Amino acid sequence: MAVASEKAYMLLKQRVVAGAFAPGAQLKEEHIARELAISRTPIRAALKRLVQDGLATADAGRGVRVAEWTEADVDETYELRRLLEGHAAELAARRGGVELADRLDALNARMEEIIARAGEDTAEQMQEINSQFHRAILEASGSPRLRSMLAGLIDMPVVIRSYFISRPPDLLQSLQHHRDLAAAVRIGSPELARDLMQLHLKLAAHRFRQRRSEFGGGSAA
């Protein structure tokens, strides 16, 4: 049962992340069980995990539905991150010094290992390391206001989703951006750190939209 539940969860997660289901679409146990040739019990467990991930919602009388993240939500989330995290990176490069650079390099080394291993849990591990990387920069910015504004944006469902439809070249490009950011911090270049962070997030948004479309889900409503 555990194996079937994990299989159902991963398949459904990838489809939801890629936009194969429209925002607000109901995820019906019976229909999904029939399509995946899996009994309803593991499907029910998989749907519960999607709700816990923030990728779906469960409301009395309405069933389990895909969280309503539209293309406008995607654009707004990444644009806010680009502006705010660009400023955070600028501040971090002024204040973080070698200690922050060492921390970022260590996270990048772990990310490189995860990519090279290419295991079944690559997406989850990459998302976790990515979150730690961006939060390290945010903390080093020394700005409580930025921390407050960005705390939720870094781990929003739309950001988490991106790693489940990323390809190896996408992961390698993201890693290179992280290395460049660490280098900018190490040499103490605020302007370079800001520009690199903004480029990193702009390309991340572009890749997410591209991969989502390639998967076959098309644009969200």
Among 40, 66, 92, residue at a domain's last position: 66
In a domain, 166, yes or no: yes
Distance CA 111, CA 117 (A): 10
Distance CA 27, CA 149 (A): 32
Nearest to 89 by CA among 186, 181, 183, 201: 181
Query: What pLDDT sits at residue 161?
Result: 67
In a domain, 91, yes or no: yes
In a domain, 120, yes or no: yes
Instruction: State how far the alpha carbon of 169 is from the alpha carbons of 29, 31, 215, in Å.
Output: 35, 35, 16
Query: What pLDDT sits at residue 218?
Result: 43
Q: Are residues 21 and 35 in the same domain?
A: yes
Q: Are residues 38 and 84 in the same domain?
A: no
Distance CA 67, CA 24 (A): 6
Distance CA 91, CA 127 (A): 24
Region of 169 (left: φ > 0; alpha: ψ -120 to 50; beta: rest) is alpha
Query: What pLDDT sits at residue 139?
Result: 96
Q: Which helix (H) or strand (E) holds 100?
A: helix 97-117
| Residues found in the chain | 221
Q: What is the CATH number of the domain that holds 103?
A: 1.20.120.530
Other CB atoms within 10 A of residue 11 CB: 15
Among 19, 46, 66, residue at a domain's last position: 66
Q: What is the CATH number of the domain that holds 38?
A: 1.10.10.10
Q: Are residues 27 and 123 in the same domain?
A: no
Three-state secondary structure call for residue 56? strand
Q: Are residues 16 and 121 in the same domain?
A: no
In a domain, 129, yes or no: yes
Q: Are residues 32 and 95 in the same domain?
A: no
Query: What pLDDT sits at residue 120?
Result: 81
Query: What pLDDT sits at residue 105?
Result: 98
Q: Are residues 95 and 39 in the same domain?
A: no
Q: Are residues 39 and 109 in the same domain?
A: no
Query: What pLDDT sits at residue 194?
Result: 98
Query: What pLDDT sits at residue 136?
Result: 97
Q: Are residues 37 and 82 in the same domain?
A: no
In a domain, 220, yes or no: no
Query: What pLDDT sits at residue 1?
Result: 60
Distance CA 9, CA 73 (A): 24
Q: Are residues 96 and 39 in the same domain?
A: no
First to last CA, the chain: 35
Q: Which domain holds residue 167?
A: 71-215
Query: What pLDDT sits at residue 127?
Result: 87
Q: Are residues 113 and 7 in the same domain?
A: no
Q: Are residues 59 and 76 in the same domain?
A: no
Q: Are residues 177 and 89 in the same domain?
A: yes
> pLDDT tens digits, the chain, 221 residues: what are they?
678 888 888 888 878 766 678 778 999 999 999 988 889 999 999 999 888 877 788 987 789 998 876 778 788 889 999 999 999 999 999 999 999 999 999 999 999 999 999 888 888 899 889 999 999 999 999 999 999 888 778 867 667 667 777 888 999 999 999 999 999 999 999 999 999 999 999 999 888 888 777 755 444 33
Distance CA 215, CA 221 (A): 16
Query: What pLDDT sits at residue 18?
Result: 64
**How many structural domains does the chain have?**
2
How many helices (H) does the chain have, and how many strands (E)? 10, 2
Which residue, chain included where needed, has tokens 């029939």? 34
Query: What pLDDT sits at residue 220?
Result: 36
Other CB atoms within 10 A of residue 139 CB: 16
Instruction: State how far the alpha carbon of 210 is from the alpha carbons of 191, 206, 214, in Å.
Output: 29, 6, 6
